[in-house]
């Protein structure tokens, strides 16, 4: 069964459930999802697809795939790789096509009707998954293939597909007895509904939590274009004459860095952390039930907790390995954050005393504002100094695309003949080094109410030599759109995000696998972030910066002195950034390492979070987790449950790769081709750490990561000498 990786996956649609799947009626041939698109590379016909097309196509696809599964299990011939594993891999085309388009559009351009469809089909989708992976006849055939002499002579990629297929069945509970399977279906059904509810609660509370400002003077610190954008955002909600600061998905909001009004900063912060803690969108009872049911399911499947079940299938391999890494990094991060806090407090004290006021104590809503001042004083520049040099189209086309061309020989050409799901998107042909078409790439950069928060990559079509398909991928950001014809000017952090997401896109575009379920980004969670985090290095590369960092009005390059300051500041605030990330990663593990019967109720959710952070040593009064539990979509609705640690695990590999690139000459075609051949093209066609070692030459090394972040691990205390008698 194909396992296409979406970033982030709308996993509330993919988690198993127990609702019986009714046989779908024949799909109307006029439904544009009924057959593969006739557009280039099967790019979706967005101009033809309507809300009413999704559910019938998905349900018909599920029914069609079950017929295909029945044909596999009824085959009188002895089980073989071809008539069982390959047949399963080739099943479900209609289902995959319809679900992929729906899932992607529901994340990028949703509406109330689509959200109702999501709620309606989530349990049906989950029941469909159970119907496949809990099918005893199908499991028996897969096991028979794995135990046959023929399995030992399969080519490497086919052997990997067989191993992955068998693992999917066993991990899904195929070996349970019928009574256990019945309970598993019940658990899966409830979880499917709950994760969907969590996602929709976050989306609603994020929209409702937007901060209304009555007077533009309160927005001191914002640029003219930002104030105009806030006025436009208010107008779209019927608040003419007012200003609206919409919320992003993270705890700290972008506006906190610029707003001079401390009371407004506090309002914005409190609106962010209050999301989904009360009212109709309260996620505390949802979290309590999700954690409870996941723990019970893990026990039923034979694991001590949900994290153990997840991590068995990741490169980390175990709970112990992840706990060890997080525990090693936390003291270094918090020590740095404490030093940074002291420096910020010193600045606050100085400024307030100079103004004749009593100094106030640094609070979380103050950190971004004063940290920016510390950075400006230390490195003598601010975001406002560099934004004019980072116009968004230049960053993408003369930065991201330029680096990709120099490294890999690929080129891009914008096309305007394909339908768009939203007018703010852009589509590009991607041509390989020999001039043939490699794939299609969509850039969707702007925030909107119909779009989930954050930044991610997804695939509409997955590469496969078996199907003959080439990749169609998309990158999504949430950059505030300026009003009118004002330019979109980015902070350096936003520049880094664009490069990061294109690393995911490159992983999908360079895919060269035979089987769809092993192609592109269909790799472990703690490996999938590696290519994206590695690609961030090119946004800091002097040769790449020289090509795209030009003033949007004059075309003049970013002055070398200012560029030097930007690069020197790369390690700034890393104690804070690493601590807020680690706090969330630790929270994720603490929630999912709970045993069945030992999870808190709804009233205890926030208390459990506080205790978990304190016991891990990351409960700093001035540094919140990047995501508090009640809006931590990555792990409660986004596919990263017990896997949020993956970002820093992958960053070890990324910084190793950056170090390797620098040692071998940097932005060089031979380097790019080598990485592409050894890692980026391979997907999960082999063990991913084996692929990394083939590129890097040795085991992963944490030292480049620590150097990159300016962190030092605490030195081990010398062992006490053994007592001796005289």
Question: Can you give the pLDDT at residue 382?
Answer: 84
Residues 523, 688: contact at Cβ < 8 Å? yes
Question: Can you give the pLDDT at residue 454?
Answer: 86
> For the chain, how many helices (H) and strands (E)?
28, 7
Q: Would the pLDDT of 708 be above 90?
A: no
Lowest mean pLDDT of 3-12, 193-202, 461-470, name the range. 3-12
Residue 595 is classified by DSSP as P
Question: Confidence band (pLDDT; 50, 70, 90) for 688?
Answer: very high
Distances (CA, A) of 710 to 329, 482, 573, 655, 699: 12, 35, 10, 13, 22
At 102-123, the pLDDT tens digits run 999 999 999 999 999 999 999 9
Residue 399 is classified by DSSP as I
CB atoms within 10 A of CB 624: 23
CB atoms within 10 A of CB 96: 20
**Dihedral class, residue 92 (left if φ above 0, else alpha if ψ from -120 to 50, else beta):** left
At 450-470, the pLDDT tens digits run 998 889 999 999 999 999 999
What is the chain's length?
726
Helix (H, G, I), strand (E, B) or coil at 308: helix
d(C-alpha 189, C-alpha 12), whole Å: 11
N-terminal to C-terminal alpha carbon distance within the chain: 73
Lowest mean pLDDT of 351-355, 535-539, 634-638, name the range. 634-638
Q: Would the pLDDT of 559 be above 90?
A: yes
Lowest mean pLDDT of 317-331, 407-421, 471-485, 706-720, name the range. 706-720
d(C-alpha 523, C-alpha 3), whole Å: 10
Question: Can you give the pLDDT at residue 722?
Answer: 33
Q: Would the pLDDT of 387 be above 80?
A: yes
- Give catalytic status of residue 266 as yes or no: no
Residue tagged 């590369």 (tokens)? 541
Q: Would the pLDDT of 725 be above 70?
A: no
175: Cβ–Cβ under 8 A, 6 or more apart, which residues? Answer: 139
Question: Confidence band (pLDDT; 50, 70, 90) for 706?
Answer: confident
Question: Can you give the pLDDT at residue 26?
Answer: 84
Q: What does the pLDDT average to over 290-303?
A: 98
Residue 718 is classified by DSSP as P
Please report which helix (H) or strand (E) contains residue 441, including its range: strand 437-446
Write down the catalytic residue from 96, 289, 372, 501: 501
Residue 677 is classified by DSSP as I
Residues 152, 87: contact at Cβ < 8 Å? no
Lowest mean pLDDT of 24-28, 383-387, 526-530, name the range. 24-28
Question: Can you give the pLDDT at residue 464?
Answer: 98
Question: Can you give the pLDDT at residue 571?
Answer: 83
Note the pTM of the prediction, 2 decimals.
Answer: 0.86
Domains of the chain: 11-202 (1.10.1370.40), 209-262 (no CATH), 387-521 (3.40.390.10)
At 433-453, the pLDDT tens digits run 999 999 999 999 999 989 988
Measured at the alpha carbon of residue 485, what is the angle toward residues 265 and 553, in degrees to the nearest 5? 90
Q: Would the pLDDT of 718 be above 90?
A: no
d(C-alpha 144, C-alpha 73), whole Å: 12
- Joined together, the tokens standing for residue 452 give 């989930």
Question: Confidence band (pLDDT; 50, 70, 90) for 696?
Answer: very high
Question: Can you give the pLDDT at residue 118?
Answer: 94
d(C-alpha 238, C-alpha 232), whole Å: 10
Q: Among candidates 433, 434, 518, 519, which has minimal Cα distance to 471? A: 519
Question: Confidence band (pLDDT; 50, 70, 90) for 25?
Answer: low
d(C-alpha 291, C-alpha 96), whole Å: 29
Question: Confidence band (pLDDT; 50, 70, 90) for 715?
Answer: low
Q: Would the pLDDT of 16 be above 80?
A: no
Q: What does the pLDDT average to over 162-191?
A: 96
Question: Confidence band (pLDDT; 50, 70, 90) for 536?
Answer: very high
Give the phi and the psi of residue 570 in degrees, each rounded to 5: -60, -30
Give the phi and the psi of residue 18 in degrees, each rounded to 5: -120, 0
d(C-alpha 438, C-alpha 327), whole Å: 43
Distance of CA 78 to the CA centre of its chain: 42
DSSP string, 120-187: HHHHHHHHHHHHHHT-HHHHHHHHHHHHSGGGGGS-HHHHHHHHHHHHHHHHTTTTS-HHHHHHHHHH
Question: Which residue(s) pair with 391 in the sheet?
Answer: 489
Return mean pLDDT, the chain. Answer: 93
Question: Can you give the pLDDT at residue 713?
Answer: 64
């Amino acid at each position: 069964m194909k396992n296409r990786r979406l970033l982030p996956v709308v996993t509330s649609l993919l988690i198993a459930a127990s609702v019986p799947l009714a046989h779908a009626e024949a799909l109307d041939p006029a439904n544009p999802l009924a057959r593969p698109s006739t557009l280039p590379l099967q790019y979706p016909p967005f101009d033809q697809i309507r809300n009413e097309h999704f559910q019938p196509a998905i349900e018909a696809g599920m029914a069609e795939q079950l017929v295909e599964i029945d044909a596999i299990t009824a085959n009188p011939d002895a089980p073989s790789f071809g008539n069982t594993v390959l047949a399963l891999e080739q099943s479900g085309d209609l289902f995959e096509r319809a679900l992929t388009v729906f899932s992607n559009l529901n994340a990028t351009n949703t509406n109330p009707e689509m959200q109702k469809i999501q709620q309606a089909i989530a349990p049906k989708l989950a029941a469909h998954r159970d119907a496949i992976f809990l099918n005893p006849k199908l499991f028996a055939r897969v096991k028979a293939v794995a135990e046959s002499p023929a399995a030992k002579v399969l080519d490497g990629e086919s052997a990997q597909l067989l191993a992955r297929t068998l693992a999917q069945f066993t991990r899904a509970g195929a070996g349970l007895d019928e009574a256990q399977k019945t309970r598993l279906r019940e658990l899966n059904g409830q979880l499917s509904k709950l994760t969907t509810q969590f996602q929709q609660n976050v989306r609603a509370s994020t929209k409702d939590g937007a901060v209304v400002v009555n007077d533009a003077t309160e927005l001191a610190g914002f640029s003219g274009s930002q104030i105009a954008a806030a006025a436009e955002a208010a107008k779209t909600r019927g608040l003419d004459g007012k200003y609206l600061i919409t919320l992003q998905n993270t705890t700290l909001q972008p506006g906190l860095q610029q707003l001079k009004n401390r009371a407004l900063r506090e309002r914005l912060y409190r609106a962010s952390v209050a999301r989904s803690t009360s009212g109709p969108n309260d996620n505390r009872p949802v979290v309590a039930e999700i954690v409870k049911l996941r723990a019970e399911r893990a026990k039923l499947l034979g694991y001590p907790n949900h994290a153990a079940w997840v991590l068995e299938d990741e490169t980390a391999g175990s709970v112990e390995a992840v706990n060890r890494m997080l525990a090693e990094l936390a003291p270094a991060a918090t020590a740095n954050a404490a030093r940074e806090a002291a420096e910020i407090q010193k600045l606050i004290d100085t400024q307030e005393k100079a103004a004749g006021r009593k100094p106030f104590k640094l609070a979380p809503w103050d950190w971004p504002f004063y940290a920016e001042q510390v950075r400006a004083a230390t490195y003598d520049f601010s975001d406002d100094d560099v934004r004019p040099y980072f116009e968004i189209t230049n960053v993408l086309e003369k930065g991201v695309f330029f680096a990709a061309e120099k490294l890999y020989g690929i080129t891009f050409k914008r096309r305007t003949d394909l339908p768009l799901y939203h007018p703010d998107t852009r589509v590009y042909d991607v041509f390989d080094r020999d001039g043939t078409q490699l794939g299609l790439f969509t850039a969707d950069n702007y925030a909107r109410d119909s779009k989930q928060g954050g930044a991610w990559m997804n695939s509409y079509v997955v590469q496969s030599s078996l199907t003959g398909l080439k990749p169609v991928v998309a990158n999504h950001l949430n950059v505030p759109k300026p009003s009118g014809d004002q330019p979109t000017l980015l902070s350096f952090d936003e520049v880094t995000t664009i490069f990061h997401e294109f690393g995911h896109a490159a992983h999908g575009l360079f895919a060269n696998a035979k089987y769809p379920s092993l192609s592109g980004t269909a790799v472990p969670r703690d490996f999938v972030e590696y290519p994206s985090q590695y690609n961030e290095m090119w946004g800091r590369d002097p040769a790449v910066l020289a090509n795209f960092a030009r003033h949007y009005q004059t075309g003049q390059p970013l002055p070398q002195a200012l560029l030097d300051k930007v690069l020197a500041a790369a390690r700034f605030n890393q104690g804070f950034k690493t601590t807020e990330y680690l706090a969330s990663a630790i929270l994720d593990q603490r929630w999912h390492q709970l045993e069945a019967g030992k999870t808190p109720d709804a009233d205890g959710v926030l208390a459990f979070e506080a205790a978990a952070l304190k016991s891990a040593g990351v409960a700093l009064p001035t540094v919140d987790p990047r995501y508090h539990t009640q809006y931590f979509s990555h792990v409660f609705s986004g596919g990263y449950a017990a896997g949020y640690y993956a970002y820093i695990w992958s960053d070890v590999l990324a910084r190793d790769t950056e170090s390797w690139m620098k040692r071998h000459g940097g932005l060089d075609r031979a380097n790019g081709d080598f990485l592409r051949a050894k890692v980026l093209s391979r997907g999960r066609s082999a063990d991913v750490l084996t692929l990394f070692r083939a590129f890097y030459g040795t085991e992963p090394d944490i030292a480049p990561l620590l150097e990159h972040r300016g962190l030092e691990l605490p030195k081990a205390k010398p062992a006490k000498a053994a007592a001796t008698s005289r």
